[in-house]
Amino acid sequence: MTDDEMAGNDATAEAPDPAASGAHAGVPLEPSAEAVRRLEEENDALKDRYARLAAEYDNFRKRTLKERDELTTRVQGAFAGRLLDELDDMERLLAGDPAVTTSQALYEGMELLARKLWKELESLGMERIDPAGLPFDPALHEAVATTPPTSPEQDHIVCRTFQAGYRFKGALLRPARVQVYADPGQA
């Protein structure tokens, strides 16, 4: 046998003896009263920490809901405040004597009121979608009717808007309901 082989055999022959290290095979060690007390204290501390964190999270959740409700109320109030001038104009328009108010004057007043209202809404981020003459886009338009095109270039072009669509700051609020030129043979 070579020296290397003997060294390998010696290494396996000198494995530690579990009995020599104080551990008894298959016999559980009895925990000391001090170790049990220490673990119980640690467990109690962890339970207390968990209860505090749970209460803190519940308070955070309630506070966040309250703040969100308050913010929503403030934003709605600010929006309503921006429309007060338009409401005043409408009341003045309706306060006129119907016996002397002509339909032309009423129409002109409503037209001015609509322009003023749209100016406010656009300043907030509202956008009207009226796609007549534009290519049909199913992400923005809802086709409620079709009609045959008079030329091939009209295929899939919006020919009529039944109801305008609206976007608010880029988010679609309502699609435009439209009639589309569509070749019935390609449906």
Instruction: Please give the average per-residue pLDDT across 77-102, as a whole number.
Output: 90
- Side chain identity, residue 82: R
How much is the average pLDDT of 130-152? 93
Whether the pLDDT of residue 23 is over 90: the answer is no
Q: For residue 186, is pLDDT > 70?
A: no
135 belongs to a structural domain: yes
Q: What percent of the chain has pLDDT over 70?
A: 82
Say which CATH number the domain at 174 has: 2.30.22.10
**pLDDT value for 139:** 94
Model confidence at 27: pLDDT above 70: no
38 pLDDT band, cuts 50/70/90, is very high
Give DSSP secondary structure letters for 80-146: HHHTHHHHHHHHHHHHS-TTT--HHHHHHHHHHHHHHHHHHHHHHTEEEE--TTSBP-TTTEEEEEE
**Domain-located, residue 162:** yes
Domain of 132 in residue numbering reads as 127-187
Kindly state the percentage of the chain with pLDDT values over 90: 67
* pLDDT at site 160: 95
**Overall number of domains in the chain:** 1
